[in-house]
Amino acid sequence: MKSPRVPVRVFAAGALVGVVCGGAGLSSSASAEEEPVSSHRSTQVVERSEAGGTMSAATARAVDRAVRSQATRRQAQYAPGSIVIGVRAHIIEGTHRGERHATLAGVRRQIAVLNQAYAGQEALGRTPDVNSTTTADTSFRFALRGVTKTRNEAWYHVSAPGATANRMKRTLHQGHAYTLNIYFVQPSRSSGLLGYATFPYQYAAHPRLDGLIVNDQSLPGGNLTHFNLGNTAVHEIGHWLGLRHVFNDQAVGSTEAPDPVDDCVDNDGLADTPVQAYPTSGDPVGKDTCVQDADHPQWVGDDAIHNFMDYSWDEAMYQFTPDQSSYMDLSWAHYRAPHRAS
């Protein structure tokens, strides 16, 4: 069966030069918004690491109070697969030969990976992490609603939040709080960037900066060994839907010697993800940064190395937990649903 026709618009240096097939027009509005604090992950090919701002503890507490309100809980009663998120994919190309990696076929493969991951299908035949007896079939599925192609050297090499990323997003962003905009770029090699995302609570102040920036070599079949199965986008969408990392964000990038007692913080506030001090590199066996003992009986289980919200290799990631699924529902209902509870 043929895939449905997807609107594709072609740009050069930010200016419309041709329409491949029909689709919704771009909004022409642009404001002097500042780049919001975002979840930001990078890799030096061999590992994932934090390379930017994270949600502060105070902000996390405020967001948790908001999404767990009685009104939001009443609205967030979604069945598995009942929310289909429209995706607007923005393929950014460079102006030099060899700077055109992302393709429509690659984007379609990425959408298929998203649907497998959020349906819990990547976990079939695998063992869930110790604190979660089941892998969630979440409420979310994804449908490609349109693709833009833009040739712009500066945008192609966006490596961090800032003025260049702002201009790109404000020019290309489409839709509303419930529309997922993904920008596929090729960050500078020295940055090692895999991607970063905005959180739902940031949309109200910065609507045109909402979305994901993703390394185009992390698409399924890309050339980033261990990071080319499409799970970077899965992880970043988790943030876009409100999830935090399963490890302690504040311990990432610290120059101090690791201290499991100080660093064992329940970062995501969810009962079925183990307390975890540090992000995972690779696909280790039996990693446990917060070992249960008499003084810390709550530190149950090995680290959640198979969870999409860790930093493991793509082949090691295959699970969202039921509590993560419920939290995404709450976040959607409060911040992104067409008829929000907030």
Identify any residues that bridge with 146 across adjacent strands, giving them in sequence order. Answer: 88
Kindly report the CA angle at 240 between 121 and 72, in degrees rounded to 5?
Answer: 95
Nearest to 239 by CA among 110, 78, 52: 52
Instruction: Give the Cα separation of 258 and 325 in Å (integer).
Output: 31
57-67 and 322-331 helices cross at what angle (nearest 10)? 80
Instruction: Give the Cα separation of 221 and 9 in Å (integer).
Output: 24
Catalytic residue among 33, 236, 256, 315: 236
Instruction: Give the Cα separation of 336 and 239 in Å (integer).
Output: 13
Instruction: Give the Cα separation of 165 and 155 in Å (integer).
Output: 7
Residue 236 is a catalytic residue: yes
Radius of gyration of the chain (CA): 19
Identify any residues that bridge with 9 across adjacent strands, giving them in sequence order. Answer: 19, 148
Active-site residue numbers? 236
